Amino acid sequence: MSAPRRPSDPSGLERYYVLTGGRSGPGGSASSLDVATLVVSRAAPLTGMQHEHEEILRRCRDPLSVAELGAHLGLPFNILAVLLSDLLDAGRVEARNPIPAHDAGRGPDLALLEEVLSGLERL
């Protein structure tokens, strides 16, 4: 009888468990994160930091959405949210929710949209 096979793919569930320290979802300040939330670094990576935390801080020097960040890092949303929670709680990143058009005080500039449409039609 042979021993059970272990998956050889290090990017599976075991990796996610290790990355998050067994946590399955964000807590505290990160519980309101969604895919459109913009994340921006507020500090440089520290020596000895977890690789994924370092990578988040490097990539978010300019604001980056959670969806874009997840795509760059190849991480599912819930795993990324846990990592962002760590950085938010430590004050190393800032999360900014996008402002919906109806909350911004006005809708889209119709004159500008008509000008763009006119320009596209001339092409």
Dihedral, CA of residue 15, residue 92, residue 29 and residue 105, to nearest 10: -120
**For 73-97, how does the pLDDT look when each residue is reduced to its tens digit (9 = 90+)?**
998 888 898 889 989 989 999 998 8
* Residue 81 and residue 27 in contact, taking contact as beta carbons nearer than 8 Å: no
Of the two residues 83 and 27, the one the predictor is more confident about is: 83
Cβ-based neighbours of 30, under 8 Å, separated by 6 or more? 81, 82, 84, 85, 88, 89, 95
Of the two residues 72 and 7, the one the predictor is more confident about is: 72
d(CA 47, CA 59): 17
The verdict on pTM exceeding 0.85 is no
Domain boundaries, given as residue ranges, for the chain: 13-101
**For 3-22, how does the pLDDT look when each residue is reduced to its tens digit (9 = 90+)?**
444 445 455 777 777 777 77
The percent of residues in the chain predicted with pLDDT above 70, rounded, is 76
Query: In this structure, what token pair is assigned to residue 117?
Result: 């449409």
**Mean pLDDT calculated for residue range 32-37:** 85
**Mean pLDDT calculated for residue range 95-117:** 73
Query: In this structure, what token pair is assigned to residue 78?
Result: 């819930």
